[in-house]
Structure 1
Amino acid sequence: MQLTTVLDTPGLTLTFLKEDQPGLPPQVVRDLKPGRVRLLARGMEGDIAVALPPAHAAEARELGQALVKLATDLEVHSVQVEATEYAAALALSLIVSGHRDARYRSEARPGPSAFSVEGLHGADFARVEALAGGIRFARELVNAPANELNPATLARQARTLEALDADVDVWDSAEIEARGMGLLAAVAAGSVTGPRLIRVTLPARGEVRYVLALVGKGVTFDTGGYSIKPAAGMTTMKGDMGGAAAVLGAMRALAEARNLIPEGVEVRAYVPTAENMVGPNAMRPGDIYRAANGKTVEVVNTDAEGRLILADALTMACDEGATEVVDVATLTGAKVVALGSDVAALYSTSPELAARLKAGAEASGEFMWEMPLHVPYLKAFQKETLADLRNSDMVPAGGSIKAALFLREFVTRPWAHLDIAGNAMEGNHGTGWGVGTLVEYVLGRG
């Protein structure tokens, strides 16, 4: 999938209807709605489609999706679009909608391979390319099956960011245990691969004024452990590292567009990654482990593992001096019940941080809804246990809120949590949800 400035012989050209444009067949323009595309003509030198000019970025994104579908149906390989005020949103939608992950197919999937949007150039062109690269990276991480992507191979994928001058460190089991990250080690104990903590840093230009920490849940496969999931609930669990994919995809995009990051802003990613498996050394219900911040946690439900690995990573991000911390995780089924798969749940201790994340989501065409950190719910994780906390009360009601409150016990800086359960996958395919929001959030932190 390639974005280019000019196509010599596009297979399909999209033009926008002008007011009172004469000469068009009535059946083409009749009831044409915003965000829709209609085929006007087919010819040896290429096909022509028409649409209404997009009135805002959301319409441009919808138009991009419709245009990719038309190009795929027509079996054309290159698409050119007339200039529009919303060229960047349209171009990104074209690339993302046209992405075809054919790594596991014997034949390539059909679809256009090259796009051009007139008037898109310079910094805008570079920004779209960087965002598209980050979203593709995130999607392909989620799409990879668990027999290929485990904590070790996810760390190797993160190391590819070194080619973009990112600093990448990977801690293995020995270092994780030496640093007291007992919760991350416990979740990984049933897997032969063991845990990893991946840290990616984009150093600031000039004197450091802000350190933004992005933390992504990286459970590369989740059986549920001894609190094992039913078979139907396990089929999509290769995607339980969707938060890690979003964070690493955002870091890839930011590394490519580093000159756009405000001066003095350092960005760090922390990805705790593990497989939650059943095995001789796997954690059991009733086990108690010590977290990196010294708090003890009783594991009531081994299938509430994401909050455990995030807790240690959040502690590390805070201890290493983050100005503010944002974590992203496919955390709770309760979030899907509350908000569905299109809208992420946002929790935050900082109204200013929450406002900047909402602005980033709006700019990127992603959706989130702020949920309450209702403190009394935390009592359910503090009673009937010998430890400081338990990781579950086995009661689904309010589950997303209670999980967020659990995480809050491990942060000492302004913090936001994005529960993206349901958002990270559509069917069996990764969406790259969160890359756009995180990139816009960082670029807007002046």
Structure 2
Amino acid sequence: MDLTFATADAAAIPLHVVAQDALDAFCDAQPDKVARWLRATGFTGALGSVALVPDDAGGIAMALAGDGTPETRARGRFHLAGAAALLPEGTYALHGLAPERATTESLGWLLSQYSFDHYREQKHTTARLVAPEGVDAARIEAIAAGEALTRDLINVPASDMGPADLEGACATLATRHGASIEVIRGEALLEQNFPMIHTVGRASAQAPRLIDMRWGESGPTLTLVGKGVCFDTGGLNLKPATGMGLMKKDMGGAATVLGLAQMIMALGLPLRLRVLVPAVENSVAGNAFRPGDILTARNGLSVEINNTDAEGRLVLADALAFAAEEDPDLMVSMATLTGAARVAVGPDLSPYYTDDAALAGLLDAAAEQAADPVWRMPFHTPYESMIEPGIADLDNAPKGGFAGSITAALFLRRFAGQGRYAHFDIYGWNPAAAPARPKGGTGMGARALLEALPGALAL
């Protein structure tokens, strides 16, 4: 698996991207034998289709990738990746796309070369692409590498990606980029006032921990907080089998912020980065926390536990409170937090929350440019009463079933301090394969955040 561009080669096969309504004009501009070949093979320029034109020696003179119509293109993204998967092995040089579109499609091509082959060899795209003229090849490669890291971390099952393994992945990333890392484990969490991280993870065979990675010496401060629940049984409110099957992905928030950190550090962005990952497994044992327990968080707020399966917000709360003590210029949390978010927007959109309209505008514009769709959800303050149970300051699982993603976000906002803050309630999983996005773990929102960072940190 090589998520990089091919070296420019004079022998690279020209690959022309041709829309349906431009096919006749393209054929008219070609030698007669090429035009007759394309018409004889029935190539129409339909989205995702491919045509190969032979040369006189029996090789490939050129290839065409159908670009469909504006209507068909609007129904997906990374269309060239779909065509790349159909091309024979070789090196291709792209023609027919403006630089902005070429940037997006080139990223999709690199991402199509990803395969999760930790346990068995998998098929992946073998056609290689020369970096198109006018695109920032190093940036695209860094983004692809960050996305691959996120996918790998999510795809690895909990047997090989428990809290200790997630710590190891963080340490490897820190070493690669010269970052520092500190880890607070086990009973030390209580001694250093991280009671909710400890409580959620204490029933696991692997000790709970808070991973704290720092990188950069100057510039504005960015803190990323990622939910690292390496497996979620639901605790004593045990999930049914159907709800537990994908719980290896419940550390998708941590995987996504680590992928984003990889992008930031590889690109050498002028900022000071901090990544906090509360890494736990929500297990069942004699010392598991119980429904009805009342916990006191790092910032002093009391929390009534009405469902042990709403554990992600608990570990994030301590980490957010810790992060807020330094008052960073921007703080972002990412978590596979609620099923309610999936019901609201499905698996493809990244819902996010922020009180900062300027930040939201930057994120929305960046998401479109990065082909990483997001959707702003409301921090609806009138719902605050829904997370106030009466006998404690907060309720971790309000009854009633309404606005589950919003009430979870409101819960987290109580711990995030007064600075600029955004929370992403992501899914982290592709339920079905799509161009450049195989079934399995996936990053969500990271590319949009990367694109928005220069403006967001200048606000």
**Pair 1:254-2:264 in alignment:** yes
Partner of 1:145: 157
When structure 1 is superposed on structure 2, of 333-342 and 82-91 the one drifting more is 82-91
Partner of 1:182: 195
**Pair 1:409-2:411 in alignment:** no
1:393-426 per-position Cα deviation (integer Å, ceiling 9, x unaligned): 23322111111111111111221111113x4443
Deviation of 1:326 after TM superposition, in Å, equals 1.1
Partner of 1:104: 119
For residue 69 of structure 1, the aligned residue among 82, 85, 107 is 85
Deviation of 1:240 after TM superposition, in Å, equals 0.8
- TM-score, normalization: structure 1? 0.89
**Pair 1:299-2:327 in alignment:** no
Partner of 1:87: 102
Partner of 1:418: 424
CA distance in 2, matches of 1:48, 1:418: 43
Partner of 1:171: 184
Q: Secondary structure at the match of 2:153?
A: helix
For residue 398 of structure 2, the aligned residue among 377, 385, 393 is 393
Partner of 1:280: 286
Whether contact under 8 Å (2:177, 2:266) holds in the other structure is yes
Deviation of 1:89 after TM superposition, in Å, equals 1.6
CA distance in 2, matches of 1:113, 1:220: 35
Partner of 2:64: 50
Whether contact under 8 Å (1:353, 1:415) holds in the other structure is no
Q: Relative to structure 1, is the Cα distance of residues 157 and 113 closer, same or farther in structure 2, using a 3 angstrom cutoff?
A: farther
**Pair 1:15-2:16 in alignment:** yes
When structure 1 is superposed on structure 2, of 161-170 and 337-346 the one drifting more is 161-170
Deviation of 1:289 after TM superposition, in Å, equals 1.2
**Pair 1:38-2:50 in alignment:** yes
Q: Relative to structure 1, is the Cα distance of residues 247 and 442 closer, same or farther in structure 2, using a 3 angstrom cutoff?
A: same
For residue 370 of structure 1, the aligned residue among 371, 376, 385 is 376
Partner of 2:452: 441
Q: Secondary structure at the match of 1:240?
A: helix
Q: Identity of counterpart residues, as a percentage?
A: 35
Deviation of 1:246 after TM superposition, in Å, equals 0.8
Q: Which amino acid aligns with 1:433?
A: M
For residue 4 of structure 1, the aligned residue among 2, 6, 9 is 6
Q: Relative to structure 1, is the Cα distance of residues 286 and 362 closer, same or farther in structure 2, using a 3 angstrom cutoff?
A: same
Q: Which amino acid aligns with 1:125?
A: A
CA distance in 2, matches of 1:276, 1:79: 48
Q: Which amino acid aligns with 2:119?
A: Y
Partner of 2:229: 219
CA distance in 1, matches of 2:94, 2:441: 27
Partner of 2:435: none
When structure 1 is superposed on structure 2, of 196-205 and 389-398 the one drifting more is 196-205
Q: Secondary structure at the match of 1:141?
A: helix
Deviation of 1:69 after TM superposition, in Å, equals 2.2
Q: Which amino acid aligns with 1:184?
A: I
Whether contact under 8 Å (1:197, 1:272) holds in the other structure is yes
CA distance in 2, matches of 1:184, 1:77: 50
- TM-score, normalization: structure 2? 0.86
Whether contact under 8 Å (1:243, 1:328) holds in the other structure is yes
CA distance in 2, matches of 1:286, 1:91: 52
For residue 290 of structure 1, the aligned residue among 296, 305, 313 is 296
Gaps of 5+ in 2: 19-24, 433-438
Question: Would you say how many aligned residue pairs link Structure 1 and Structure 2?
Answer: 428
Gaps of 5+ in 1: none
Deviation of 1:273 after TM superposition, in Å, equals 1.3
Deviation of 1:42 after TM superposition, in Å, equals 4.8
Q: Relative to structure 1, is the Cα distance of residues 68 and 431 closer, same or farther in structure 2, using a 3 angstrom cutoff?
A: farther
Q: Relative to structure 1, is the Cα distance of residues 110 and 411 closer, same or farther in structure 2, using a 3 angstrom cutoff?
A: closer
Whether contact under 8 Å (1:5, 1:120) holds in the other structure is no
CA distance in 2, matches of 1:165, 1:410: 30
CA distance in 2, matches of 1:156, 1:289: 29
**Pair 1:431-2:439 in alignment:** no
Q: Relative to structure 1, is the Cα distance of residues 415 and 28 closer, same or farther in structure 2, using a 3 angstrom cutoff?
A: farther
Aligned ranges 1:18-29 → 2 under 5 Å: 19=26, 20-22=28-30, 23=32, 24=35, 25-26=38-39
